[in-house]
Amino acid sequence: MGFKDQIDFSKLPQHIAIIMDGNGRWAKGKGKLRVFGHRNGVLSVRDIVEASVEMGIGYLTLYTFSSENWNRPRLEVSAIMELMVSTIHKEIENFMRNNVRLNAIGDLKMLPEKCFRELTWAIDKTSANSGLTLTLALSYSSRNEMVQAAKNIACKVKSGELNAEDIDERTFAANLYTRNMPDPELLIRTSGEYRISNYLLWQIAYAELYFTPKLWPDFRREDLYDAIIDYQKRERRFGLTSEQLN
């Protein structure tokens, strides 16, 4: 079990991304409906956000709802959307108190009107906060994000704003939803699945991956400490040799 005092605060990841998975299985294990798992998952979100604020993490990006998740049973989708509206409403005071700036990435036009309104209201209200940037990936698909980036770039080339020869990695990154964020150094996935599920494919090129069997509603700050401690033990080589680094 990770203890906060084992963390080297001078070497914190600036940006942590999390795939919050396992709500449904958690509920099923308790003989409850899946939505019970989503509701309890919100408690984990609150705890992880608070712990990130306390540690001074700059960016926390949570995979909240994927584009593929729209294909789930209608009732589950609407329950998640309702939960989002009520959670944002309840959490806004905490965000203000903790200096959290809310942000969202994804195809937000797909969200139900009420959800979209609540979200944009909260993003606006917290926009001057300067602490943790909390980004919800909502109706998010990384491939879609990259296709949109390619389209934007193509339009700029067509209009003469950009030369095709000048397109580089920076141009591409600047056309993603995450244009104003550093890449995540640490990606955590709960629930024992070893896959990325269309999340931040470009941005995690050199992220350290951390997988835990814990289901999301059981994932609390001690588990986040564990992940950070594990991350800090790794040697990030970026293609170099160990000798070059030392």
Catalytic residues: 21, 69
What φ, ψ does residue 149 adopt, rounded to 5°?
-60, -45
Give yes or no for a contact between 177 and 145, defined as CB atoms under 8 angstroms apart. yes
Residue 144 interacts with ligand IPE (CB under 6 A): yes or no? no
What tokens were used for 111?
């969200």
Residue 118 interacts with Mg ion (CB under 5 A): yes or no? no
Which residue among 52, 61, 175, 191 contacts ligand IPE (CB under 6 A)?
Answer: 191
Biggest alpha carbon distance in the chain?
Answer: 60
Q: What does DSSP assign to residue 182?
A: P
Residue 21 interacts with Mg ion (CB under 5 A): yes or no? yes
**Closest among 187, 194, 195 to 228, alpha carbons compared:** 187
Residue whose token pair is 């509920």: 27
19 binds, among Mg ion, ligand IPE, none (CB under 5 to 8 A by kind): ligand IPE
Pick 38 or 101: Cβ nearer Mg ion: 38
69 binds, among ligand IPE, Mg ion, none (CB under 5 to 8 A by kind): ligand IPE
Which residue among 69, 148, 152, 232 contacts ligand IPE (CB under 6 A)?
Answer: 69
Task: Mark the segment that binds ligand IPE (CB under 6 A) among 1-9, 52-60, 65-73, 127-135.
Answer: 65-73
Number of other residues whose CB lies within 10 A of the CB of residue 75: 11
Number of other residues whose CB lies within 10 A of the CB of residue 1: 6
Task: Mark the segment that binds Mg ion (CB under 5 A) among 21-29, 118-126, 151-159, 221-229.
Answer: 21-29
Distance CA 48, CA 39 (A): 15
Residue 65 interacts with ligand IPE (CB under 6 A): yes or no? yes
Residue 210 interacts with ligand IPE (CB under 6 A): yes or no? no
Distance CA 95, CA 73 (A): 31
CB-closest chain residue to ligand IPE: 24
Contacts with ligand IPE by CB under 6 A lie at 19-25, 63-66, 68-69, 80, 191, 193, 195, 197
Contacts with Mg ion by CB under 5 A lie at 21
